[in-house]
Structure 1
């Protein structure tokens, strides 16, 4: 099973730039072009939040138009820049999404790996939180299929990255989430976005990874007094490849067209 993982496109209304500097729509179009050229084709595409930048209806219209042609199953969760009800309306044709309340889901009919979405967004805030309702729901869902390899999607990572100005807005209640995950050994990865960088860390008895943004990259500044900044680094996506013999292998794939292939390695 091949799972493509994109995050944080921060789409804007047509002709508008992200932060008045970057054409995030064109960058997401390049990501979708890369997705279309993958061989073999992914079985499913995951999008871990901040689909749009300001939660505007005009932005979600752009998102719906751009995503309509991918020709692959798509699973989405909101991020802190999404507006929950506008997000729900944009993806109303996705039957796995709840009609009210948090947008948790569990999907098990796309291949051997079960895909669980955990909505940790707090409407009106940029930090995330694992509320009691969310952890009880997740515990019950994971307990229902204890022997099935599972990925858990969420937006804000529940860890400290070391980048001070993004850690102010991470997911609170990580200890409660870790306690739930530690009871369920079938969870192969926790998949996040939000940080606009690739990271990996041990968490809750499993491995947590963050997907880069298809737009800008948060500056990797690890001093506690670092000033917030971003760079226009090469965007990327992740590919999670599951086989019975190897389990889950995660690949980092830069987005773009590069010289090659050359007849050596």
Structure 2
């Protein structure tokens, strides 16, 4: 099973730039074009939040137009830049019981890997929160098929990366999530967005990884006094490949056209 993973698209109204400087819409188009050239084709596409930048109706109209190019089933959770109500009215999410929120869902019919979305966003805030209710919901969802290979997706990462100006907005009460994850060894991966960089670490007995953005990368600054910065680094997506013999393998896939193929390996 192949799961393509996009994050933090920060789509703007037509003709407008992200932060007034970067053409995130064109970069999103390029990401989708790259995605559609992958062979074999992914079975499902997931987006771990921040579909748009300011939660505006015009942004969601643009997002609907851009994402129409994705042919696979599409699973999304909101990020801190999203408006959950507008997002729900723009896109059909067949696994949701309510569009009012939070957007928790279980997608268990797309392949051997079950995909669980946990909405940890806090309306009008940038940090996330693994609330007691969210933790209980996730525990109950996992208990339905405790031995099935599972990917859990959320927006804000439940760890401190060492980048001071993004760690302020991490997912709070991460220990609650860790305790739930530890009870289910079949969880192959916990995946996040928000941080605009690819990172990986052990978490709750499994592997947690964050997805790069399809637009700017948040500067990798580990100095406690570092000032906020972003860079136009090569955009990328993640490709999670589940096989019976290995479990889940995660690939970082740069978006663009590169020299090659060259006649050697």
- For the aligned pair, the TM-score class normalised by the smaller chain equals over 0.9
Partner of 1:180: 180
* SS at structure 2 position matched to 1:166: helix
Aligned partners of 2:147 and 2:184 also within 8 Å? no
TM-score scaled by length of structure 2:
0.99
Q: Report SS of the residue matched to 1:176.
A: helix
- Tell me how far apart the structure 1 counterparts of residues 197 and 127 of structure 2 sit (CA, whole Å): 17
Looking at structure 2, the residues matched to 168 and 246 of structure 1 have their Cα atoms a distance apart, in angstroms, of 36
Deviations 1:213-265 (A, max 9, x none): 00000000000010000000000000000010111100000000111101112
Matched ranges for 1:160-171 at <5 A:
160-171=160-171
Displacement of 1:101: 2.3
Q: What's the counterpart of residue 203 of structure 2?
A: 203
Quote the Cα distance in structure 2 between the aligned partners of 1:227 and 1:158.
22
Give a deviation string over 1:159-197, Cα, whole Å, max 9, x none: 000000000000001011101111111111000000000
Which residue of structure 2 lines up, in the alignment, with residue 222 of structure 1? Answer: 222
Looking at structure 2, the residues matched to 160 and 84 of structure 1 have their Cα atoms a distance apart, in angstroms, of 25
Taking only aligned residues, the RMSD between alpha carbons, in angstroms, comes to: 0.7
**Shift of residue 205 of structure 1?**
1.1
2:231 aligned residue: 231
Q: How far apart, CA to CA, are the structure 2 residues paired with 1:243 and 1:139?
A: 25
1:81 CA drift (Å) = 0.3
Shift >3 Å, 4+ stretches: none
Q: Which residue of 1 aligns with 2:113?
A: 113
SS of corresponding position for 1:140? helix
Looking at structure 1, the residues matched to 96 and 194 of structure 2 have their Cα atoms a distance apart, in angstroms, of 21
Question: What is the match of residue 94 of structure 2?
Answer: 95
Q: Given that residues 32 and 69 in structure 2 are in contact (C-alpha distance below 8 angstroms), is that contact kept between their aligned partners in structure 1?
A: no
| Matches for 1:70-81 after TM superposition, within 5 Å | 70-81=70-81
> 2: CA distance between counterparts of 1:10 and 1:116?
23
Contact 1:96 1:105 in 2 (8 A): yes
Give the match for residue 245 of structure 1: 245
Aligned-partner SS, 2:135: helix
In the TM superposition, what is the alpha-carbon distance from 1:87 to its structure 2 partner? Answer: 1.2
Q: CA deviation at 1:105?
A: 0.2
Q: How much does 1:5 deviate? A: 0.3
Could you tell me which residue of structure 2 aligns to residue 20 of structure 1? 20
Q: Distance in 1 between matches of 2:240 and 2:2?
A: 6
Match of 1:44 in 2: 44
2:30 is matched with 30
Q: Please say if 1:129 is aligned against 2:134.
A: no
Matched, 1:147 2:147: yes
CA contact (8 A) 1:189 1:208 kept: yes
TM-score by length of 1: 0.99
What SS does the corresponding residue of 1:151 show, helix, strand or coil? Answer: strand
Equivalent-residue separation in structure 2 for 1:26 and 1:150 (angstroms): 33
Say how many residue pairs are matched.
264
Contact residue 49 and residue 193 of structure 2 kept, 8 A: yes
| CA distance in structure 2 between the partners assigned to 1:96 and 1:183 by the alignment | 24
